Amino acid sequence: MHTICKSTLAALLLSATPAFAGPFLGAALDRTSSEYSDVKDGTGYSVLGGYQTSSTSFPLFVEASYYDSGKLKLKDSGGLGFSYSGPQLFVGGALKLGESSFLWLKGGYYSFDGKTSYQGDSVSDSLSGLSLGVGFDWMFSKQLGLRLGIETPMKVDNAPGLTEEEVAALGGTKKEKQLSVIQFGLVWRPVFGAQ
């Protein structure tokens, strides 16, 4: 009888312990800023899905996301703006902080459609490169949690679709820059705690 009680208690404790391994989905509100002080931040969104390989102290994961920056506007330009959207693919690792939270780091590749727009007209160009991310997940229930993250797509064209000559004629310089994306959202783990 004593053995049965111990095994029952152990089973209950295991079932109550969150298991991070398995698929996950998420969505976030994004605030995108440029390295230029005269460019207003854009407000957009991202959606993601991935798979975490284990529930050990240092789990690995793969993640695919779709990102939309919203419009970043050049101040005092009469409406000149830039936007970026497209998929990203990441691989990463996490540091488990407890039974319900962990820090994560990830690196991967972006493939964006970059657009420059002004008074109803727009031009666009395909952009790609390296993207890095760091963040924190806190699971406030067995399946649902909060996610706070920062992503930095690297070497993003500051005037997609425009040539160097066209940008120079507007008084600017065409170059590659880094975007800073602050994300606040939710993550759902449909098999979280199932074991």
Mean of all residue pLDDT scores within the chain? 85
Q: What pLDDT, on a 0 to 100 scale, did the predictor assign at position 11?
A: 43
List the domain range (segments joined by +) for residue 17.
2-188
Residue 195 belongs to a domain: no
Q: Is the pLDDT of residue 194 over 50?
A: no
Q: What is the CATH number of the domain that holds 6?
A: 2.40.160.20
Q: 70 near 42, Cβ under 8 Å?
A: yes
Report yes or no on 91 lying in a domain.
yes
pLDDT at 122 over 90: no
In the DSSP assignment, the letter for residue 13 is H
For residue 101, is it within any domain?
Answer: yes
Q: What percent of the chain has pLDDT over 70?
A: 87
Residue 99 is assigned to a structural domain of this protein: yes
pLDDT at residue 39 tops 50: yes
pTM reported for the whole predicted model: 0.83
For residue 41, pLDDT beyond 70: yes
Confidence of residue 191 (pLDDT cuts 50, 70, 90): low
- Whether 194 is covered by a domain: the verdict is no
In 3D space, the residue among 116, 115, 48 whose CA is nearest the CA of residue 88 turns out to be 48
Rounded distance, CA 73 to CA 62, Å? 33
Q: What is the DSSP string of 30-68?
A: EEEE-S-TTEE-EEEEEEEEEEE---SSS-EEEEEEEEE
Res 15: pLDDT: 40
The pair phi, psi for residue 4, each rounded to 5°, is: -65, -40
Residue 27 domain flag: yes
Report in angstroms the alpha-carbon separations of 123 from 22, 152, 173: 41, 24, 17
Residue 4, pLDDT score: 53
**14-36, pLDDT tens digit by residue?**
443 445 678 999 999 999 999 88
Question: Kind and range of the H or E element at 169?
Answer: helix 164-169
In a domain, 193, yes or no: no
Asked if the structure places residue 139 within a domain, the reply is: yes
Total number of domains in the chain: 1
Q: Is 90 exceeded by the pLDDT of residue 6? A: no
In the predicted structure, residue 1 carries a pLDDT above the cut 60: no
Contact 84, 113 (CB under 8 A): yes
Model confidence band, residue 186 (pLDDT cutoffs 50, 70, 90) = very high
> Model confidence over 43-101: pLDDT tens digits?
999 999 999 987 677 889 999 999 999 999 988 777 788 999 999 999 999 988 887 88
pLDDT of the residue at 68: 98
